[in-house]
Amino acid sequence: MYYPEQRYLMDSTTIRREQSLPQDAIGEVEVIEGSSVNLRDIVARGVIPSRYVFVEAARQLRLKPGESLSDFLQVAVGQSVSAEVLLAEKRGKQVRAPFDGILAAVEDGHLIMQVEPEQIVVEAGVDGTVVQLVSGRGAIIETYGGLAQGVWGNGRRTIGALKSEPADGLEMIEGGDLDIGTRGSIVVTKRPLYETGIDHAEYIGLGGIIAPAMDADLIPRALRSKLAIMLTEGFGPLTMSPLMWKLLDAANGRNALLEARQPDRWSAARPEVILNPVRSSNRAVRANPNTTLNVGSVVRLTRPPHAGEVARVTDLPKMPVLLENGLRVPCAQVEFPNGESRPVPLANIEVYGR
Amino acid sequence: MSERRDGSILAADIGNISTRVILIDLVDGRYRLLARGETRSTGGFPSGDVNLGIQRACEQITEATGRKLVAPDGRILTPERADRSGVDQFVVTTSTGQTLRTVIIGLVPELSIASAIRATAGTYVQVVEQISLADARSEEDELNAIIHSRPDLIFIVGGVEAGADSPVMRLARLARTACNLLKGGRVPLVLYAGNSDLVDDIHDIFQGVTTVLVAENVRPTLDEEHLENAARQLARAFDERQDQRGAGFKQVGDMSRVGILPTAQSYNLIAGYLGQALEEDVLLVDIGSAVSTLSASVGGHVATVIRPDIGLGHSASLLHELTGDAAVARWLPFVPAHNQIRHYALNKALRPSTTPESIKGLFLEHGLLRAGIRALMDTARPLWAGRADMPADEPLPAFKRIIAAGSALTRTGNPGFNALLLLDSIQPTGVTELEADSFGILAVMGALAQVNPTAAVQLLDGMNLDRLGTAFSLSGKPTPERPAMRVKIRLESGGEAISHEVPGGHLWIYPLATGQRATVEVSVRGRGLQIGNKGRVKVQVEGGSAGLIFDARGRALPVAAEVRHRASQLPLWISEVTGDTPILIDPLWLVEGGEEGHVDTTPPPPSRRRKKAEAAQAVADKAAKAAKPARRGRRGKAEAAETPAEIEMPTDDELSLDDLRG
């Protein structure tokens, strides 16, 4: 029994996603389990710790041994204060806030003030239902719709209508093609992305780009861009997997959330596009994480020379197979749409979620 | 820890790519490996539950042995039942997850803090901040440094036994303040391994703030160092943090009496054990997907290096950033295209479990592997130098045994190829036993040693590693194609002695099988050549899955500087150790870089200036365009859906989305 790698590509499925504060944030959850949320609803709110400053209050108030600084406080710990607000007082001696901030703690004769920290809010990101809370961090939200997962993103998120590129490429989209309603669209291109493509997309006001691949030199440019950019295959001269293109092209005009997450080796979250469900669509199919590889399975291949290609498994040999490069590894025999058949390492096979 | 004489033991190791489980039991009074299972790890997408991978691996063992190991609720059945279902003990190790971000607080950098750093060998610790009495920063700056380093653990050391207490307590109070300010977020654990007189005070000040673990003082006197207990508590802290990570780690840890222990601790332990037991220098190298570990026992001292930036999967891109193009390109028999090595590394990091399928892919993968091991060795050598009085630029210690772990080094499908990768990367000299941990046994040894040391020792001594064979490696610079090694092999089973001359620049394998023994005599031929600092060696050896490997290439390994020469040299070496036909290198690859993938036929995109002009023109034409129907609808869609010429789209009846919908 072999459980292959999965990368979801489904036109209608249930989707569960965790929306949580970043690891270094301190905060609280603002939704309750079972509640419905819209994509802009706030799930959690928090702060990123900023600099702490010691205020030598005990010395300034000339506290005597046995006297507690807490007894002379004029504001509560945790309270936001403006500069010059009275923090503590003892018989005419005063300690005032040195800046706008929060009285964070009283420790060993110090008042510890925190510079006004950066506020962070986490939005639901999808229309759905809160199915589980993540204590102090966020929530898991369930929704349904189409789902296509990529491999790399530039860390941005956008919501917009999907738009397939013209036959002559992303660069040929003209500003006039996008009316007010479609400005902010997410363009899908089946060709590798170039810098001119990003420049042009920014210029004409697109919201995002889904492309198969790009050159690694473009990473800094993509990270600087305000567009959400997702790659479906990787880096180098790779074209889009035909089934990926087929799904996204068929969704032309549908609203979508492009969550172009940057890969994080410590996280299971992936860059992905969630397509709004079509009213007439059939009931959503739940993805099966226990999918096994079988004869007849339709699979996507992930490594050159067949990266991105789609094939059908015709045999699962019990013994490792010798490849042209000299490695002898467990393989599946697959057949391509053109009838060609060859062994492919099991490790280089992905299935789509069911 | 007191030993229990349990019978059956199930040991699991959860890696970033694979989860491996082995079943150990008493057979004729000795612990033996009975069965093993291996499956893809399941902590990540889509299931997010590491327990699922353990269950799947257990299913394989159940199929092989008939012994039921998992209860209907997914828990490992313990203890063993009369019907032989279940096991008496379950232990688990992992190399997954983030390193333990650790702030070390101590009194003197050269004493207690240095000891604390040494205690972290064997656990996936990243020291993110150090604070000591020598710190020139203000207390306020120190506090901010602790908080902004986002620690998982604050490791407090310092103070010899019965020594001064106030400096340690001042620093501990600073740590307490930091923990207080982090409430509401992730509050770090505290590990105290300083002056034992202060243990109660430490507990008091952290009461209600965070969990405090206590270990023996790492530096009880200026001359003494006690690291073992602190190392165990660090492993416990790692376990506690794993529990908080989710992905089912808590449930799995709860099933083990000692929680989840770091895999790297096993290598540290085994290097120490083998170094002492064999009285030889021993090297263990594990190239993982995200983390790599190198443990060595040199002159009786053990040093372990853990590098979370060296790996052939999740960390491939970091590894490439670390080593650069040149360190990889020197192992390629072709001219790489611009960014080809970088693209390979990035794509491997995006799909870490994949395996090279093409010839170029193979050399890129193994180029990264060799560069990674070299970087690990460079990190480790100063530690050996310090311990064994060996200058860092001197040749390697004469390792008598090298053990490889991790699928990149053990799963080429050919033992000779596995051995070649070790010889290329480590470049040992003299006579070296080569072994591969194909079953992932070493990974669980640390945990096993904690619950049942006898089982750990018997398993190590029980031939459970894949014995690749014995390598005889020449030092010096042999003349290519001229005799460099004269070999005489007398089999223990009798028969005529086998004589062979190995020319310089070549490898030769004699297929002495596992279990067979022979007396091997090797003498060098040529000026400046040596084998193990001698001109001649005569040793009794045992065979292996690769056999006896005679490496007459010399040291440092003379990898050709010119790609044209590498194109014949590298495939030849592979062929000599595998017996396969040499891989053919396309002559075109030697003159121009060509990246694998689908050829992009898109014409060069227009310049930004031209596009801006076009866009401006488009705005000017907007009114005229508004009068026309927008270019959408069927024509636009048909154009967009056009498939690149080299890809034949599957028909709806074959590989369509309808097919996916079922």
Task: Among A69, A94, A116, identify where a domain stops.
Answer: A116
Chain A environment of B597 (Cβ under 8 Å) = 213, 236-239, 304, 307
Q: Residue A177 has what DSSP assignment?
A: G
Q: Work out the percent of chain B whose per-residue pLDDT is above 90.
A: 46
What average pLDDT does the segment B379-403 reach?
69
Predicted pLDDT of residue A284: 66
Scanning A127-166 for CB atoms below 8 A from B yields 136, 151-152, 164-166
Q: What is the pLDDT of residues B8-27, one digit of tens each?
A: 999 999 988 899 999 999 88
Scanning B281-320 for CB atoms below 8 A from A yields 290, 314-315
Predicted pLDDT of residue B444: 86
The answer to the question of residue A211 being in a domain is: no
How many CB pairs below 8 A link A and B? 294
Distances, alpha carbon B287 to alpha carbons B15, B83, B348, B349, B425, in Å: 12, 40, 14, 14, 12
Higher pLDDT, A123 or B244: A123
Predicted pLDDT of residue B571: 96
Q: What is the pLDDT of residues B36-70, one digit of tens each?
A: 999 988 887 787 788 999 999 999 999 999 999 99
Chain B: give the shortest CA distance to residue A92, in Å. 27
The reply to whether residue B359 touches residue A52, judged by beta carbons under 8 angstroms, is: no
What average pLDDT does the segment A176-195 reach?
78
Quote the Cα angle for B32-B35-B40, to 5°: 135
Residue A329 is part of which domain span? 298-351
Nearest C-alpha in B relative to A214: B343
**Cα–Cα distance measured from residue A26 to residue A136, given in angstroms and rounded to the nearest whole number:** 8
Predicted pLDDT of residue B646: 32
Confidence of residue B468 (pLDDT cuts 50, 70, 90): very high
Predicted pLDDT of residue A176: 57
Predicted pLDDT of residue A44: 93
Chain A environment of B650 (Cβ under 8 Å) = 242-243, 310, 337
Scanning B170-199 for CB atoms below 8 A from A yields 173, 177, 180-186
The reply to whether residue B644 touches residue A174, judged by beta carbons under 8 angstroms, is: no
Predicted pLDDT of residue B384: 74
Q: Does B59 touch chain A (CB under 8 A)?
A: yes
Of the candidates B40, B607, B621, which has its C-beta nearest A3's C-beta? B40
**Cα–Cα distance measured from residue B281 to residue B289, given in angstroms and rounded to the nearest whole number:** 27
Torsion of the alpha carbons at A247, A252, A256 and A260, rounded to the nearest 10: 70
Predicted pLDDT of residue B423: 96
Of the candidates B144, B183, B595, which has its C-beta nearest A236's C-beta? B595
- Is B98 within 8 Å of B151 (Cβ atoms)? no
Domain spans of chain B, in order of start: 9-94, 100-244, 265-578
| Helices (H), ranges, B315-432 | 316-329, 340-350, 359-388, 407-410, 415-426
Predicted pLDDT of residue A137: 84
Task: Among A84, A100, A116, identify where a domain stops.
Answer: A116
Chain B environment of A250 (Cβ under 8 Å) = 657
Of the candidates B42, B361, B641, which has its C-beta nearest A304's C-beta? B361
Confidence of residue B392 (pLDDT cuts 50, 70, 90): very low
Predicted pLDDT of residue B385: 59
Average pLDDT of chain B to the nearest whole number: 83
CATH of B100-244, one of 3.40.50.280, 3.30.300.130, 3.40.50.720, 3.10.290.10: 3.40.50.720
**Cα–Cα distance measured from residue A209 to residue B499, given in angstroms and rounded to the nearest whole number:** 66
The answer to the question of residue A306 being in a domain is: yes
Q: Give the residue from B255, B256, B262 showing the smallest Cα distance to B239.
A: B262
For testing contact with chain A, the best of B95, B350, B583, B648 (most A CBs within 10 A)? B350
Predicted pLDDT of residue A178: 56
Q: Does A303 touch chain B (CB under 8 A)?
A: yes
Q: What is the CA radius of gyration of chain B?
A: 29
State whether CATH 3.30.420.40 applies to domain B9-94: yes
Of the candidates A8, A243, A304, which has its C-beta nearest B357's C-beta? A304
Distances, alpha carbon B537 to alpha carbons B431, B486, B520, B531, B533, in Å: 9, 11, 8, 7, 10
Q: What is the pLDDT of residues A137-184, one digit of tens each?
A: 899 999 888 899 999 999 998 988 899 887 777 766 665 555 555 578
Of the candidates A23, A114, A344, which has its C-beta nearest B186's C-beta? A23
Higher pLDDT, B167 or B658: B167
Confidence of residue B245 (pLDDT cuts 50, 70, 90): low
Which residue type sits at A130? V
What average pLDDT does the segment B565-573 reach?
96
Chain B environment of A245 (Cβ under 8 Å) = 641, 643
Q: Work out the percent of chain B whose per-residue pLDDT is above 70.
A: 85
Q: What is the CA radius of gyration of chain A?
A: 27
The answer to the question of residue A206 being in a domain is: no
Confidence of residue B353 (pLDDT cuts 50, 70, 90): very high
Q: Does B71 touch chain A (CB under 8 A)?
A: no
DSSP B123-170: S-EEEEEEE-TT--S-HHHHHHHHHHT--SEEEE----TT---HHHHH
Confidence of residue A213 (pLDDT cuts 50, 70, 90): very high
The answer to the question of residue A347 being in a domain is: yes
Of the candidates B181, B182, B659, which has its C-beta nearest A298's C-beta? B659
Chain centre distance of CA B101: 19
Answer yes or no: is pLDDT of B623 > 70.
no
CATH code of the domain in which A328 resides:
2.30.30
Q: Give the residue from B314, B494, B269, B539 showing the smallest Cα distance to B406.
A: B314
Q: Does A112 touch chain B (CB under 8 A)?
A: yes
**Cα–Cα distance measured from residue B349 to residue A234, given in angstroms and rounded to the nearest whole number:** 10
Higher pLDDT, B649 or B75: B75
What average pLDDT does the segment B572-583 reach?
93
**Cα–Cα distance measured from residue A327 to residue B615, given in angstroms and rounded to the nearest whole number:** 52
Of the candidates A171, A239, A289, which has its C-beta nearest B598's C-beta? A239
- Is B116 within 8 Å of B155 (Cβ atoms)? yes
The answer to the question of residue A158 being in a domain is: no
Predicted pLDDT of residue A134: 85
CATH code of the domain in which A79 resides:
2.40.50
Least trusted range by pLDDT, from A89-103, A308-322, B475-489: A89-103
- What share of residues in chain A are helix, strand, coil (percent, to 5)? 15, 40, 45
Predicted pLDDT of residue A179: 54
* CB contact set of A143 (below 8 Å; sequence gap of 6+): A14, A15, A17, A126, A127, A128, A129, A274
The answer to the question of residue A258 being in a domain is: no
Predicted pLDDT of residue B566: 95
Chain A environment of B56 (Cβ under 8 Å) = 1, 3
Higher pLDDT, B239 or B110: B110
**3 state DSSP class of B530:** strand
Task: Among A93, A116, A139, identify where a domain stops.
Answer: A116
Q: What is the pLDDT of residues B258-313, one digit of tens each?
A: 778 888 878 888 888 888 888 889 999 999 998 898 999 988 888 888 888 899 99
The reply to whether residue B361 touches residue A165, judged by beta carbons under 8 angstroms, is: no
**Cα–Cα distance measured from residue B449 to residue B31, given in angstroms and rounded to the nearest whole number:** 13
Chain B: give the shortest CA distance to residue A263, in Å. 7
- Is B135 within 8 Å of B104 (Cβ atoms)? no
Of the candidates A247, A268, A305, which has its C-beta nearest B358's C-beta? A305
Least trusted range by pLDDT, from A78-87, B240-249, B453-462, B524-533: B240-249
Higher pLDDT, B448 or B574: B574
Answer yes or no: is pLDDT of B629 > 60.
no
